[in-house]
Amino acid sequence: MVTKNNQNQGLNNQDKAFSINKKVLIIYTVAIVFLGITSGLLAGYSFGLQKGQGDVKKIFDISDTLLTANEAYKVAMVKAKAWQDDAGLASIRLIAPSVDNDGKSSSWEMAFYSVKSKSGYKVLIKDGNIASSQGIALAVTDTLKGAWLDSPIVLERVLNSSGDESPDIKDLNLSYFKNEHKWIWSVNYKKGNITVIAEK
């Protein structure tokens, strides 16, 4: 015989079970929506990289359109790693007419080399973003693996050497000198040329 109290207890248990199931359903729904949004953002970001576009500099909290060589390298490296995961820095070249007093420029060109694919890759950074990228043939297969001097420090070295407050740099290139077995910054400025050892 089922009493009224037993009936009420059974109804309460059903209500509790329904409430728990409802909470679980809500949690699953929120999780699915979150995963969907995250996947969409990642897919869009990946597409932007493949197209050579997208504000990659936000990853590194870079807000300026003028970048140092190292800041530009960080932006370009994201694209290079998407090309080949073993991509290594092969050279840096200043594209803009000059650098400012902080060693920053609006345009840099980075070349990378992949041992795995035995090929090169060029990334152009303009106004802080990836402007273009393409595969290239590289005669030099050495890649810079250690820490290296950034453009502001190179500029400081040039200033100390020249004794000039404004050296008016025309060319600023980082590359490997095989004869010297060193990575070197080659600097062309209004008083002539100077080289700075790049590796720290």
What digits encode the pLDDT tens for the residues 131-170?
Answer: 999 999 998 889 999 999 999 999 999 988 877 777 788 8
Q: Is 100 helix (H, G, I), strand (E, B) or coil?
A: coil
96 & 118 share domain:
yes
72 & 171 share domain:
yes
27 & 76 share domain:
no
**Residue 125 contacts residue 155 (beta carbons within 8 Å):** no
Span 93-132, pLDDT tens digits: 999 888 898 999 999 999 999 999 999 999 999 999 999 9
Span 168-180, pLDDT tens digits: 888 999 999 999 9
189 & 158 share domain:
yes
118 & 30 share domain:
no
Q: How far, in whole angstroms, is CA 52 from its chain's centroid?
A: 12
Rounded to whole angstroms, the Cα distance separating 135 from 87 reads: 12
Rounded to whole angstroms, the Cα distance separating 114 from 86 reads: 6
Please give the structure tokens belonging to residue 20. 């728990």
34 & 67 share domain:
no
42 & 76 share domain:
no
The parent domain of residue 1 ranges over 1-50
118 & 187 share domain:
yes
Please give the structure tokens belonging to residue 66. 């003028």
Number of domains making up the chain? 2
Of 153, 195, 194, give the one whose Cα is nearest residue 176.
195
Q: Where is average pLDDT lowest: 44-53, 74-83, 128-137?
A: 44-53
100 & 187 share domain:
yes
The answer to whether the pTM exceeds 0.75 is: no
110 & 38 share domain:
no
114 & 179 share domain:
yes
41 & 93 share domain:
no
Q: Is the pLDDT of residue 200 over 80?
A: yes
